[in-house]
Structure 1
């Protein structure tokens, strides 16, 4: 295990219906770098992963959102899938949690449909980012600049399009967590 992220704590915000590889790959990459990673969810117990349209594994929630604070973490990851970000963007506590990270200038990473949560949190305007191509209009309509690249970083905001981009996504996520605070992150909150 590398210790480049030793003493760094990262929250993965997920609900039932997350794309499984978009949670497990960043979780493993961060842990391999020495970070402590916690799955935070709207409920306690287990949440259901998906392998595209098929049910995947269930994962134990480490911390209920009602007990979580951005103050306790150094960065946030939002996996995609269709159902997960749609559920999260409809939950005010989840939106407030995401905004806390932005207000504190902490890195936020979202992949696939995960940027839906960023849109709802008001963090997209003026940002250069990417996502699953089907939501590019949503990003543009929220004032973001959508580009078709495997990974995009804009002042601590890391975004990627799909599972095929996970290697690049994880590398930039690790880099941003290592850098820490980003003064420009809170500019649109």
Structure 2
């Protein structure tokens, strides 16, 4: 069984997290059955960007990178406190350990910024939120990433980044394909109505 850690900082966007739970969950029940997802929060109770409250299955202090095969990280809003949690040293160290072990890391939108802050995107191709004067892409570039501004999803070896919430399902399916196969992912896409 391949286990995905869905890392949830306070202030994350629920829709960006939910695509991972749905795609990995659909695969567990209706696909090849080889994946499962565990929600790991920075707090025992989290408030999403739009005030939706979530209780994760475990907190980051109790999570061991060795128990997981991949890391998934949604973005969030500064006004909701996303960066306060996403830039905490324990979060950045957690991300660094996934990279050190060569595990797949998938982020959506500004979920790439904690990756950049951790240092794992130094000299690597990546992207992040692309609108609003490309403020977030400029921030990611200042962290050492080689930002590909007009590409919706950028894959650099084991790291997947994307440029806004519209890419969420595509990132989740890309993660699933990296853990299983193209054939299995297409099967799950068909079951979910993404392929005819």
When the two structures are superposed, what TM-score results if normalisation uses the length of structure 1? 0.83
Q: 2:106 aligns with which of 92, 104, 109?
A: 109
Specify the SS of the correspondent of 1:33.
helix
Cα distance in 2 for partners of 1:15, 1:8 equals 22
| 1:88 aligned onto 2:85 | yes
SS of 2:71's partner is: strand
Q: Quick check: which one's helix share is greater? A: 2
* Gaps in structure 1 of 5+ consecutive residues: 1-6, 180-189
Larger proportion of strand: 1
| 2:47 matches 1:48 | yes
Aligned to 1:121: 118
**Counterpart in the other structure of 2:192:** none
Match of 2:2 among 8, 14, 25: 8
Tell me the equivalent position of 1:186.
none
Q: Is the 8 A contact 1:88 1:117 kept in 2?
A: no
Moved more, 139-148 or 114-123: 139-148
Give 1:112 shift. Answer: 1.1
Q: What SS class does the counterpart of residue 83 from structure 2 fall into?
A: helix
TM-score between both structures, scaled by the size of structure 2? 0.80
Q: Which has the larger radius of gyration?
A: 2
Q: How many pairs were matched up? A: 168
CA distance in 2, matches of 1:169, 1:43: 25
Q: Per-residue CA shift, 1:124-165, capped at 9, x if unaligned? A: 111111110231112212221111222111101011112211
**How far does residue 67 in structure 1 lie from its aligned partner after superposition?**
0.7
